[in-house]
Structure 1
Amino acid sequence: MRRLLVGTLLAALAVTGPPAAAEEVVQNTAESTVESSAPGDVVTARQISAPGFFYARTWSITYTSTSATGQPITVSGTVIVPYGADEDTPVVGYAPGTHGLGDQCAPSRHLEAGDETEGLLIHQYAIRGFAVAVTDYEGLGTPGEHTYIAGRAEGNATLDVVRAALRLPGTGLSPSTDVAVVGYSQGGHASGWAAELAPTYAPELNIAAYAVGAPPAHLRTVAEHNDGGDNVGLVMAAGFGMDVTYPELDLAPYLNDEGRAAFADIRDDCTADLTKYAGHSMADYTTEDVLARPEWTARVDEQNLGGGTPEAPVLLYHSNGDEILPVQVSVDLRADWCGDGANVTFWRTHTGAHFTTAAVMSPAVTDWVADRLAGRSTGGNC
């Protein structure tokens, strides 16, 4: 459904044009290893021809970031810079929604192939003249497992892809330019984490706004809501992500035969593949309630939003009809952020289902972000 909806809208928008310049490789020779690189340093860059982005130069990059446990990692991503960009061109850090767990699911690969399901949403920013930096997150498109829904890793990767875009040779961008960070669904989780982490992790970035759409802000609530339903595969993917992020959790001893088979299979699934688990419960795959174990409870709760205070204005939006991520998680997040003195604009919408809302709300969200990047103030509605 997601691919059909957003792909159809993208087809209506995108037009073809001359290919980008011939491929070139930019290598960061100043630092030869990830361990000696700073977060946001470009490791490799390759200029590509990304179908639909005829009005921009586009690079496929890898860059240095920081894992949820504080280790240096290499993450892949895409940087899109419209022709004519200069030192005043803002940069939008784009955090994608759930694509899956396998490397073949990575947004960078689909942007280069021309079949990225969030292409329309990315175009909404790029066609306004904003540079867009899209992260793949840890382990999605690079060696290692995807640490799905590990908040700190997501937030770091999103902030660091912006840093990488600003350090990428040949873009014309300025390190002091205005920045916005946006995302929906898993991307909402990532942009929310970026908002909470930025004051200490990336204080040099001149961030003017965050757009946080339908975030899974409280993982236990989301897991309970989806267990036994059509989207339990996302809960299983989150369990896989927690297990590979924090090896001490060691999920294997709590899996039955069906669970061992399922979790061996899920590691390279894309989002559409996860529907095979519809109607099942986590209890079908485990020997006990893993989320009730204290070590799991602690790590899962660490992924919840609301523990930090965004310093730039935030647009938080969520549909009452969201069937995957209940709107109450955003109601509670708004209360947390507002209670801490953040500038929050909350749109509780009647825009239907989860993926429908991403597409329907995109123009209004982009307008709100563009206003912040233009220096227009907002008082929020806390």
Structure 2
Amino acid sequence: MRRIPIALAACSLVTAPTAAIAQQAGALIVADPVVDTPGGMQAWRVKYWTTDGAGRPREATGMVVAPREAIPPQPRPVLAWTHGTWGVASRCAPSLSKDFWSVTAGLDAVRNGYVVVAPDYPGLGSAGMHPFLVGADTARSVIDGVRAARQIPGAAAGGRYAVWGESQGGHAALWTAQEARRYAPDVALVGAAAAAPPTQLEQNLRLTSNRALKSFFTAYIGHSWASHYRAPMASFGNRQTQGIMNRLAQNNCISLNMKPKLGMILGISALNSRLKNIDIGRIEPWATLARRNSPTTANIGVPLLIAQNAKDDLVAPSVTAAHVRALCRSGNRVRTIAIAGEGHATSAKDSAAATLAWIADRFAGKPSPSDCGRS
């Protein structure tokens, strides 16, 4: 990790002018320099304004990472990295974790001259409930993170960006693609890449082959949507069941480098039996909310890349394949990658080289390849 003097870091703090932080979407509130970064990188922890799906202002946080070199004559291309699930509690924000540098696959792009914008999503690192798998809210925080990064002089971020994410972040990337033109015509999205993205949410939960993961993510959805939408958790069972779901969500951040805590193991085990007959696709208002937050299959006019591992035990490969076929029928150009790695958790890493090459071609203006119609 590269160290810079603390005094120098303090002097390079970027704070937006008072008039610019009047809750305007995309306005930078503060960019706090990060002292320890990997070699060749400089970074800022940022706080900025975004809006929720109803247009109400909300603070969001994240990281902006840029090459540590002289500012180029032309603005740098921007990659918005949309992370997989870290949790739903505020303390689970990736920007707060010591593991940020080791597990953020999108940082490979910095070495290719990109600015990487890594939003935490609302409610992670900021106040309020995290709207887990809520499409519009998440997408807006991604787009506004790109806008905010352009206000950091040392980053030299341009107005053209791509988005790439895995798992929950794949869902965020697809939602960013469908929201981008309408929500933020001032920045231009050149392409969206999604590794193992949850698409049709009720189908994904129904067909997940790993019962423990299904129970755990049902707890996240129940806890988050009960607060965000005021949906009744009684749909999942009695107060004891609801309490287990809430404690799992409130007390557990996900880390690839740590073994699950005993309380987490016991909670999931209890939910496996309590939720075995629960299908949110057949329970209202949960079914309607799941459909509302599933990415569109309409033609959105943005080049897409979707990567999927056939051994994925969380995001059902058959659901991803059906989503790709629907996108193709609507006239989208979709590049597909069959991932040959270990499984769900390494989806982005296992498809990184091909994905970053595809993203580079989008910035270069090359024709977007499509695997639609391939037998």
* TM-score, normalised relative to structure 1: 0.85
Query: Aligned pair 1:241/2:224, yes or no?
Result: yes
Q: Residues 359 and 253 (structure 1 numbering): CA distance in 2 closer, same or farther, change over 3 Å? A: closer
Tell me the residue number matched to 1:143.
127
Query: Aligned pair 1:173/2:173, yes or no?
Result: no
The letter for the 2-side match of 1:130 is Y
Task: Give the match's secondary structure for 2:157.
Answer: coil
Deviates more, 1:80-89 or 1:37-46: 80-89
Equivalent of 1:368 in 358, 369, 374? 358
Q: Residues 363 and 276 (structure 1 numbering): CA distance in 2 closer, same or farther, change over 3 Å? A: farther
Equivalent of 2:212 in 216, 219, 230? 230
Query: Aligned pair 1:332/2:322, yes or no?
Result: yes
Tell me the residue number matched to 1:25.
13
Tell me the residue number matched to 1:269.
252
Tell me the residue number matched to 1:51.
37
Tell me the residue number matched to 1:122.
106
Q: Residues 228 and 332 (structure 1 numbering): CA distance in 2 closer, same or farther, change over 3 Å? A: closer
How do residues 321-360 of structure 1 correspond to structure 2 at under 5 angstroms? 321-360=311-350
Q: Give the whole-Å Cα distance in 2 for the aligned partners of 1:85 and 1:381.
A: 38
Whether the 8 Å contact between 1:209 and 1:314 is mirrored in structure 2 is yes
Equivalent of 1:186 in 168, 173, 179? 168
1:180 CA displacement: 0.7
Q: Give the whole-Å Cα distance in 2 for the aligned partners of 1:173 and 1:79.
A: 10
1:221 CA displacement: 1.5
Q: Give the whole-Å Cα distance in 2 for the aligned partners of 1:149 and 1:316.
A: 18
Q: Give the whole-Å Cα distance in 2 for the aligned partners of 1:348 and 1:91.
A: 26
The letter for the 1-side match of 2:132 is Y
Task: Give the match's secondary structure for 1:260.
Answer: helix
Whether the 8 Å contact between 1:258 and 1:284 is mirrored in structure 2 is no
Whether the 8 Å contact between 2:3 and 2:36 is mirrored in structure 1 is no
Equivalent of 1:208 in 190, 197, 202? 190
Equivalent of 2:45 in 45, 55, 60? 60
Q: Give the whole-Å Cα distance in 1 for the aligned partners of 2:273 and 2:136.
A: 28
Whether the 8 Å contact between 1:195 and 1:309 is mirrored in structure 2 is no
Task: Give the match's secondary structure for 1:134.
Answer: strand
1:294 CA displacement: 2.8
1:290 CA displacement: 5.7
Whether the 8 Å contact between 1:102 and 1:267 is mirrored in structure 2 is yes
Whether the 8 Å contact between 2:83 and 2:166 is mirrored in structure 1 is yes
1:226 CA displacement: 3.7
Query: Aligned pair 1:155/2:139, yes or no?
Result: yes
Task: Give the match's secondary structure for 2:212.
Answer: coil
Task: Give the match's secondary structure for 1:180.
Answer: strand
1:283 CA displacement: 6.4
1:104 CA displacement: 2.2
Whether the 8 Å contact between 1:96 and 1:118 is mirrored in structure 2 is no
Deviations for 1:47-94, whole angstroms, at most 9, x for unmatched residues?
A: 112432x31221101111121333211110110111234333100011
Task: Give the match's secondary structure for 1:158.
Answer: helix
Task: Give the match's secondary structure for 2:131.
Answer: coil
Deviations for 1:262-287, whole angstroms, at most 9, x for unmatched residues?
A: 13312242025555544454661699
Query: Aligned pair 1:296/2:286, yes or no?
Result: yes
Tell me the residue number matched to 1:70.
55
Deviates more, 1:271-280 or 1:256-265: 271-280
Q: Residues 213 and 72 (structure 1 numbering): CA distance in 2 closer, same or farther, change over 3 Å? A: same
Whether the 8 Å contact between 1:226 and 1:235 is mirrored in structure 2 is no
Task: Give the match's secondary structure for 1:318.
Answer: strand
Aligned positions, number: 358
Whether the 8 Å contact between 1:229 and 1:278 is mirrored in structure 2 is no
For the aligned residues, what is the CA RMSD? 2.5
Q: Give the whole-Å Cα distance in 1 for the aligned partners of 2:46 and 2:340.
A: 38
* TM-score, normalised relative to structure 2: 0.87
Q: Give the whole-Å Cα distance in 2 for the aligned partners of 1:115 and 1:38.
A: 28
Q: Give the whole-Å Cα distance in 2 for the aligned partners of 1:310 and 1:213.
A: 18
% identical aligned pairs = 23
Deviations for 1:231-275, whole angstroms, at most 9, x for unmatched residues?
A: 12022112222222212x132575423223213312242025555
Deviations for 1:166-190, whole angstroms, at most 9, x for unmatched residues?
A: 123443333x3x3111101000000
Q: Give the whole-Å Cα distance in 1 for the aligned partners of 2:184 and 2:253.
A: 31
Whether the 8 Å contact between 1:145 and 1:267 is mirrored in structure 2 is no
Q: 5+ unaligned residues in a row in structure 1: which ranges?
A: 1-15
Q: Residues 340 and 85 (structure 1 numbering): CA distance in 2 closer, same or farther, change over 3 Å? A: farther
Q: Residues 286 and 221 (structure 1 numbering): CA distance in 2 closer, same or farther, change over 3 Å? A: closer
Whether the 8 Å contact between 1:150 and 1:241 is mirrored in structure 2 is no
